[in-house]
């Protein structure tokens, strides 16, 4: 998923134009595992972890597996849920 998002010309363009933000959020407690992959995330992305495990304990998002990709609009309304990177790219090409 990281490679697909990083390799998307549409996503890269929208990030550069400040029309899109990518948040990579690690929801689990094995921080060592998350830390091993820090160099894979582009500097333009917001990269963090859920320190209090709120996402998991309060079931805020439906996370069946990691990664799970969501596309939210500027008001944080979910547009696509558990979507593959290609579907997100297609949506952004139609609705820039």
Structure tokens at 24: 């990579």
For the whole model, what pTM was predicted? 0.86
Classified as helix, coil or strand, 92 is helix
Give the domain 22-81 fold: Glutaredoxin (3.40.30)
Count of positions (residues) in the chain: 96
Write out pLDDT tens, residues 34-91: 899 999 999 999 999 999 999 888 877 778 788 899 999 999 999 999 999 999 999 9
CA distances from 42 to 24, 25, 37, 38, 39 (A): 10, 13, 11, 9, 8
């Amino acid at each position: 998923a990281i490679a697909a998002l990083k390799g998307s010309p549409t996503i890269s363009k929208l990030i550069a134009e400040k029309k899109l933000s990518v948040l990579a959020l690690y929801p689990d407690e094995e921080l060592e595992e998350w830390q091993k992959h820090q160099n894979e995330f582009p500097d333009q992305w917001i990269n963090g972890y859920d320190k209090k495990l709120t996402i998991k304990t309060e079931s805020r998002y439906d996370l069946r597996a990691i990664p799970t990709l969501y596309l939210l609009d500027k008001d944080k309304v979910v547009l696509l849920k558990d979507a593959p990177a290609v579907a997100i790219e297609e949506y952004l090409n139609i609705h820039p």
